[in-house]
Structure 1
Amino acid sequence: MSQIHLEDGVRQVPVTSILGVNVSKLGMRDTVDVLERAVASGKPHQIITANPIMIMAALESEDNMRAMREAELIVPDGAGVVWAAEEFGDPVAERVAGFDLLHELMKRGEQLGWTAYLLGAAEEVVQEAASRLQNQYPKVRIVGVRNGYFGESENAGVIEHIRQAKPDLLFVARDAKTQEPWIARHKQELGAAVIMGVGGSFDVISGKTKRAPVFMQKLRLEWFYRLAKEPSRLPRMMALPRFMQTVKKAKKSTE
């Protein structure tokens, strides 16, 4: 059983290798327990919520693969990642969706008095998401909010603001191509213990978009729901059949 080790005594996590990316085999509850230890350590931990599109991006981009390899924890967000683990004969406990993990961390933060910072999306979206999360989890203090529209020249100021706020949890929603590499480059400077890319989660939390119905999530068809709602996602979604083909080819080469 392959394992990774989170810093500062946080317990070892069993992983399964999917096309060279080490994905945690833990279920949601155990994942949150691990991240509670990460917060207690005070040291930076990048959490990647991996889906097939992200894994294909890592295979095609050195920056994205480096972020995957250097991340302290990668969880199986996409249903395709869960499927791939099954194909390789080393399954994960369950899908750990990033949207749900965000909420589970906020619930744990309610119990332990954590603080959180929201970075990313449009200004009105992130502000509304922060307002709704603060109402839902009043014992988690949201210590900062910042939209995701900034360039390299503004990095230092954004990082300093986060550092001064000293959040336990930093949720980052930026462009899919740059989100994880940006976190990987700056996690040591940011001063947060758990730093997690959350993609379009702020859009859903704010009410701008809707998440797929539960029955579609259970049928592993959340991707189809999102595509139906946003046809412009089709070019990006073409990574899904390429991912399946790559998994099948890799599996065949080991048989």
Structure 2
Amino acid sequence: MEQVQTQSVPTVPIFGIPFSRMDMKDTVAYLEGAVRSGQAHQVITANPIMVMTALDNPEYMKVMQSAELIVPDGAGVVWAANYCGTPVAERVAGFDLLHELLRVGETYGWRVFLLGSTPEVIQETASRLQKQYPGVVICGYRDGFFGADQDEEVIAQIREAAPDLLFVARAADNQEPWIGAHKQTLGVSVMMGVGGSFDIISGKSKRAPVAFQKMRAEWLYRLLREPTRAKRMLALPQFAMKVMREKENVTKQV
């Protein structure tokens, strides 16, 4: 694979986490170059809950700060950057970024590996994506139910499939650390955690209606459908309060 130097990313730090200021178009162009580079790029689609987790967990913060690209997937992050005077171009939602990359991938015949969720969901996701994007090659998939003792087996399976893109859908506290720990041995150019995207693609669950998306309230839709998320959602007002209380220091370089 040709060695291509990827462009530098304009960022704004939010509590020490470097968020990309690029819009969706530039983000996709950057990642297109990342695939050509043959070098490992971890993409994190981060939201306020993940920021708050990182502030409470030094190891998680280390994973975040070590990623090659962090995009603002969360209205709260977009608001915080704007509130502090260093706005990002727009929200870059992970679900949309996944589809944009697959659209570009059709042009190049990119190979894609899907990892995560349940056996039924991952199989249906692979089938639907292959039909939707026939120009890409879904070169492998595997459910996310494996422990550390199986990591080597999973890594070997991915390496053998030789994908250009790896999408990982596991628990929020697992998928980013797992990619971060193994990104240099996976042999993949672009690796991205996609959370519940496979559930939506497979038809198991629904994405928030457009009205909620336009109001930047997808979190509210998820909460209404899954009240058990209430405790986790407490991080959203906590993040907002922290930003307002510490406005002068939010975007300072660490």
Say whether the fold is shared (TM-score over 0.5).
Answer: yes
> Aligned pair 1:18/2:9, yes or no?
no
Q: Is the 8 A contact 2:4 2:36 kept in 1?
A: no
Letter matched to residue 246 of structure 1: K
Deviation at 1:133, TM superposition (A): 0.4
Q: Is the 8 A contact 1:19 1:250 kept in 2?
A: no
Aligned counterparts of 1:8 and 1:103: Cα–Cα separation in 2: 23
> Aligned pair 1:56/2:23, yes or no?
no
Deviation at 1:253, TM superposition (A): 5.4
Aligned counterparts of 1:8 and 1:21: Cα–Cα separation in 2: 26
Given candidates 37, 42, 58, the residue that maps to 1:41 is 37
Letter matched to residue 48 of structure 2: P
Instruction: Rate the CA distance shift 1:75–1:253 in 2: closer, same or farther, 3 A.
Output: closer
Aligned counterparts of 1:115 and 1:253: Cα–Cα separation in 2: 42
Aligned counterparts of 1:63 and 1:157: Cα–Cα separation in 2: 25
Letter matched to residue 101 of structure 1: L
Given candidates 147, 151, 162, the residue that maps to 2:147 is 151
Match of 2:186 in 1: 190
Given candidates 17, 25, 29, the residue that maps to 2:25 is 29
Q: Is the 8 A contact 2:84 2:248 kept in 1?
A: no
Deviation at 1:171, TM superposition (A): 0.1
Given candidates 200, 203, 209, the residue that maps to 2:199 is 203
Aligned counterparts of 1:18 and 1:192: Cα–Cα separation in 2: 28
Letter matched to residue 143 of structure 2: N
Given candidates 117, 123, 128, the residue that maps to 1:121 is 117
Deviation at 1:182, TM superposition (A): 0.8
Alignment of 1:106-117 (within 5 A): 106-117=102-113
Instruction: Rate the CA distance shift 1:29–1:47 in 2: closer, same or farther, 3 A.
Output: same
> Aligned pair 1:104/2:94, yes or no?
no
Match of 1:4 in 2: none
Match of 2:230 in 1: 234
Q: Normalising to structure 1: TM-score of the pair? A: 0.95
Deviation at 1:252, TM superposition (A): 4.8
* Coordinate RMSD, CA, aligned: 1.1
1:64-113 superposed Cα distances (whole Å, 9 cap, x missing partner): 11111100000000111101111111001110000000000000001111
In structure 1, stretches of 5+ residues that fail to align are 1-6
Letter matched to residue 220 of structure 1: R
Match of 1:72 in 2: 68
Deviation at 1:246, TM superposition (A): 1.3
1:42-69 superposed Cα distances (whole Å, 9 cap, x missing partner): 1110000010011111111122111111
Aligned counterparts of 2:9 and 2:178: Cα–Cα separation in 1: 24
Letter matched to residue 53 of structure 2: A
Higher relative contact order (CA closer than 8 Å, sequence separation 6+): 2
Aligned counterparts of 2:206 and 2:148: Cα–Cα separation in 1: 31
Q: Is the 8 A contact 1:121 1:149 kept in 2?
A: yes
Given candidates 209, 212, 234, the residue that maps to 1:213 is 209
Letter matched to residue 219 of structure 2: W
Match of 1:178 in 2: 174
Instruction: Rate the CA distance shift 1:106–1:246 in 2: closer, same or farther, 3 A.
Output: same
Q: Normalising to structure 2: TM-score of the pair? A: 0.95
Identity %: 59
Secondary structure of the residue that 1:119 maps to in structure 2? Answer: strand
Deviation at 1:41, TM superposition (A): 0.5
